[in-house]
Amino acid sequence: MNPRLRFTGSRSPGHTLLELSIALALGLSIVSACLSLYRAQRAAFERAADAVRMHEAASVALDMLGQQLQMAGFVGDLDPRAALDAPLFGCAQGRVIGEEGAASCETLASRSDGVQVRYAADAIATWPTSGGAPTDCLGQAVPDAYATNRFHAKASTSTGEPELYCEGNGKQAQPIVEGIERIRALYWLPGASAALAASGIARARWKEVYAVDVCVLVRGFTAQAKRRVNHVDCDGAPAYSDDGRARQAFWRRVALRNAPLLSTRDAG
């Protein structure tokens, strides 16, 4: 045999088309699984971050509303014999309008309740300006003896996002907390077995209110998808939305510090 024709090693077999197809399919499956896992993890992170923002918005809104409600009827150094007109007034599914002592209600498309709170304006009850003047809920100087702050929630005309609005003594409502879609306020009166909506309280009895149950319905800031999302509203009823935004209701009961003293029997 010619030595130049002798093979010194074994020949490696080549890959068949079937083997290449299987390898390609396995690779694509792994890549697809990794992408699905990434999308799921990202969606979970976005939902968690959205929930944190919703809790923060609710906390800020309830803190502000609670602080204001607690001050209702405060007279400070003013003559305690002087009657404070409308220390507290509310509207069911509407915002408060008109003069402080004879306020009325205007219906809101957002179905948010409106609340008016009045108390003596001084450097103790309010955050003073740099010049020492008392302020309203927007930080504006109060020219009157009493601070009058009105709250409601509605969608912004510029962004479409729901926001908590406050109207101070300057009579110009401004957004203060983003994400608040609705306010629901129920009021406790002496002898009542349950809290009442604003529509069930006669004007003469607003001075008797000694506590308020406040709920804020917060809408999520990120739409996960155009799908139905279930939640429980401020009335405790199941509800849903089709915009893909999460929603959650947050409650707080606020005792009015300056309400008339009540006996145990009257308070229920």
**How far is the C-alpha of 215 from the C-alpha of 183, rounded, in Å?**
6
Report the range of poorest mean pLDDT among 2-16, 39-53, 64-78, 144-158: 2-16
Res 267 pLDDT > 60: no
Asked, for residue 260, whether it belongs to a domain, the answer is yes
Strand order through the sheet with 180-188? 196-197, 180-188, 211-219, 247-255
pLDDT score for 228: 83
Evaluate whether residue 239 is within a structural domain: yes
Q: Which domain holds residue 140?
A: 41-267
pLDDT for residue 26:
84
Choice between 41 and 231, residue whose per-residue pLDDT is larger: 231
Dihedral (Cα; 43, 49, 53, 58), 10-degree rounding: 80
Higher per-residue pLDDT: 23 or 68 = 68
Task: For residue 55, tell me if it sits in a domain.
Answer: yes
**DSSP 8-state secondary structure symbol assigned to residue 45:** H
Q: What is the mean pLDDT of residues 235-245?
A: 89
Stronger pLDDT, 173 or 31, i.e. the higher one? 173
Q: Report if residue 75 sits inside a domain.
A: yes
Cβ pair 230, 246 in contact under 8 A: no
Alpha carbons 60 and 55: distance in angstroms, whole number: 9
At residue 36, the pLDDT reads 81
Is residue 16 situated within a structural domain?
no
What does pTM read for this prediction? 0.80
**Cβ-based neighbours of 198, under 8 Å, separated by 6 or more:** 89, 90, 91, 92, 105, 113, 185, 187
> Between β-strands 238-241 and 162-167, what pairing exists: parallel, antiparallel or unpaired?
unpaired
State residue 92's pLDDT score: 96
Alpha helices in 77-144 (DSSP H): none
* 86 within some domain: yes
pLDDT mean over 146-162: 93
pLDDT digits (tens, 9 = 90+) for 62-97: 999 999 999 998 887 766 555 567 799 999 999 999
Q: Is residue 21 part of a domain?
A: no
Task: Evaluate whether residue 28 is within a structural domain.
Answer: no
> Structural domain tally of the chain?
1
Q: Show the CA angle centred on residue 136, arms to residues 155 and 119, nearest 5°.
A: 115
90 vs 25, residue with greater confidence: 90
